[in-house]
Amino acid sequence: MNKIHSLTTYLLLVSLLLFRFEETFSQHTGFKPIVNFPDFKVQFKLESSKINSIVSDFAQEKVLTALTEKIKSEGKFLFMRNNKVRIEYQKPFTYLVMMNGEKMLVRDNQKDNRINVKSNKLFQQINRIMIDCVQGTMLDSKDFTVKVFEDDNTFLLEMTPVSKALSQFFQTIVLLVEKKDYSAKSIEMREPNGDKTVITFINKKLNAEIADAVFAL
Domains for the chain: give ranges and CATH numbers. Answer: 3-215 (2.50.20.10)
Q: Closest Cα partner for 74 from 90, 51, 94, 55?
A: 90
Answer whether 0.95 is exceeded by the pTM.
Answer: no
Q: Closest Cα partner for 216 from 118, 142, 114?
A: 114
pLDDT of residue 130: 64
* Mean pLDDT, rounded, for 116-142: 71
pLDDT of 40-53, one tens digit each? 888 888 888 888 88
DSSP the chain: --HHHHHHHHHHHHHHHT---SS-GGGSTT-EE-S-HHHHHHHHHHHHTT--EEEEEEEEEEE-TT-SSPEEEEEEEEEETTTEEEEEEEESS-EEEEEETTEEEEEETTEEEEEEGGG-HHHHHHHHHHHHHHHT-GGG-SSEEEEEEE-SSEEEEEEEE-SHHHHTT-SEEEEEEETTT--EEEEEEE-TTS-EEEEEEEEEEET----GGGG--
pLDDT of 135-152, one tens digit each? 566 777 788 888 899 999
| Predicted confidence band of residue 12 (pLDDT cuts 50, 70, 90) | low
pLDDT of residue 135: 59
Give, rounded to a whole angstrom, the gap between the first and last alpha carbons of the chain: 24
Phi and psi based region of residue 13 (left: phi greater than 0; alpha: psi -120 to 50; beta: remaining): alpha
* Mean pLDDT, rounded, for 108-127: 80
pLDDT of residue 23: 36
